[in-house]
Structure formats: structure tokens, C-alpha cells
Amino acid sequence: MSELTPKVDGVAEAQLEKTTGPWREAWIGFRKSKVALVGAGIVLLFILLAIFGPLLTKEGINEQMMADRLQPPSSEYWFGTDDFGRDIFSRIVHGARISLTVGFFAVVGSIVVGSFLGIVAGYYGRWVDTIISRIFDIMLAFPSILLAIAIVSVLGPSLRNALIAIAIINVPNFGRLIRSKVLSIKEDEYIMAAKAIGMKDFRILFSHILPNSMAPVIVQGTLAIATAILEAAALGFLGLGASAPDPEWGKMLADSKDYLQNAPWTMIFPGIAIMLTVLGFNLMGDGLRDALDPKMKS
């Protein structure tokens, strides 16, 4: 018997060490999926590129070498040059910063506005809910890119306005998501319990309901960054986003369309860059969904 006791203690201690919070558990779940890790790796790569890339590339992004126009990829110009003789590699590296910034801030903007509207609609209900939800419905009735184009044409074409437009068109997605989450959470007993210890509505909303409705927002947010990057590229392609010298990927695609046959690399590399970032965020988002979805938990 005396031998058994320490073993039992050992088990108890091992279990104690594993005591974790909900976010840590999500990370453990996320780590299990290889595909999600690959996605996160791609995203991380592009983030690093966006931060440190400009330091590594020797050529200035807008340095024109008319003698080296439309050069194919070589050891000097890894991704070739465009019609002004600019190094496509350094432009793509700089473009990562633009695309990620637009994607990230557009999504953060829509999450902040969407969460606020969604929480108010879900918690207070009645006419507040009706008004906010109908506005969301109206916005969702338009194809999102069409709405973005309309907003940009009102504000005037620029990268900043493209960002604002993308943020606006994504607001209803987050608003609805949060609203539905709040509707279910506010019926939970811990909300009633919080009221029963004398907590204010405002505090309940932001310290109990908001944190508990964040999991799906994080998943949706990751996926939305991918869409936002695509939309920014689309607006850039249409000439409604980044303006002339900025190395924005969509803009680069638009500039290269006249040289498609002679110099396909001018189009292929920005295209691959867009594709890879979007893929990375999508894989990561799927992994996060599996890790955070309560239905997948045992």
C-alpha cells in the first residue's frame, strides 16, 4: 500500500500542472492541426516580410531602370522587372506591408464597430435591434465589392478610402455574428448571477458578454483579413485603391495586364503573393475555428 500512495499523488500533481485557461486550451487544440500550422507559418512569413522585408531589398521600390525594362527573373532581379524597370521582388516585399495593413486595420475597424452595434442590438433588443438589424440587412443585400466601389467613389479613390470602404462593408458580418452570440449568452445563468450581485448593465456587457462572444469573432476576423486583402487588391486593380507609385499587389496586377504575353512574370508574382497570403489566413482561420468551436470540444 505504501508504494501505491506516492503514485496516486503523482497523478494528482500531473493533473494540477495541466490546469489551463480557455485560451491556452484553444492553443493546444490549434497546435494539433498541421494544416493550420502551415497557414499560420505563411501568415507569419508575410508579417515578417512586411516588417523587415524593406530593410533587406537593395533596390528602391520606385527606382526606375529604363535599360532593364521587363527583364525576366534572374539572379539580379529575382522576380524580374516591370515596364518601368522596377524590381518586382522588392515591390512585392513592400506590397506585403500595404496589403497586410489594409487587411488588418479594415478588419479591426469592422470588428470594433460591428461588435458595438451587435452587442447593443443583441442586449437591448426591441426597436434598437430592429433598426440595427435592418441596416445590416440592407447592407448585405448589395454584393460587397459593389458596395465598396460605391463607397470609394463617394470618398474618392485612395488607399485610405479603400480601407474605410472595406471596413464598412464588413461591419454587418461581425455585427450579426456578435448579435447572435449575445442573444444566447445573455440567457446564461452567469449573466443573471452577475445581475444578482448588483452589477451594472454596462459592466455586464463589456466584462462578461463581450469576452464570451469573442471566439467566433476571432475566427471570422482571421478569415475576413483574407477577404479584405482580396478586396483591397480588387479595388487596386480597378484603380480605386492605391495610387500610381505605391507597390500595391492589385495595382501591380492591373499595370501588368498589357504585358501578359511578353512578360508574364509581371503578373505571376503579385498573383502568387495575393494567393499565398489569402491561403495562409484561410488555413489559419479554419484551424482556429476547429480549436475554438465549442462543438468540437470533447
Q: Which amino acid is at 215?
A: A
Q: Is 126 in the site for other proteins (CB under 8 A)?
A: yes
The three-class DSSP label of residue 181 is: helix
**Furthest-apart CA atoms within the chain: distance in Å:** 87
By C-beta, is 22 or 41 nearer to other proteins?
Answer: 22
* 98: CB partners within 8 A, 6+ apart: 159, 232, 242, 246, 247, 248, 249
Q: What string marks each residue from 19 to 58 as x (binds other proteins by CB under 8 A) or -? A: xxxx------------------------------------
CB of 174 to other proteins, least distance (A): 19
- Interface of this chain with other proteins, residues 140 to 199, rule: CB under 8 A: 188-190, 192-199
By C-beta, is 3 or 189 nearer to other proteins?
Answer: 189
| Cβ–Cβ under 8 Å, residues 121 and 251 | no
CB of 129 to other proteins, least distance (A): 13
By C-beta, is 188 or 258 nearer to other proteins?
Answer: 188
CB of 264 to other proteins, least distance (A): 51
CB of 43 to other proteins, least distance (A): 25
By C-beta, is 3 or 17 nearer to other proteins?
Answer: 17
Total residues in contact with other proteins, by rule CB under 8 A: 22
CB of 32 to other proteins, least distance (A): 19
Distance CA 184, CA 1 (A): 51
CB of 100 to other proteins, least distance (A): 29
How does DSSP assign 191-252, residue by residue?
HHHHHHTT--HHHHIIIIIHHHTHHHHHHHHHHHHHHHHHHHHHHHHTTSSS-TTS--HHHH
Distance CA 52, CA 102 (A): 18
Of the residues 183, 212, 259, 271, which one makes contact with other proteins according to CB under 8 A: 212
Q: What residues does 87 pair with on adjacent strands?
A: 81
Of 2-10, 164-172, 208-216, 270-278, the segment contacting other proteins by CB under 8 A is: 208-216
| Cβ–Cβ under 8 Å, residues 250 and 92 | no
Give the residues lining the site for other proteins (CB under 8 A).
16, 19-22, 126, 188-190, 192-200, 207-208, 211-212
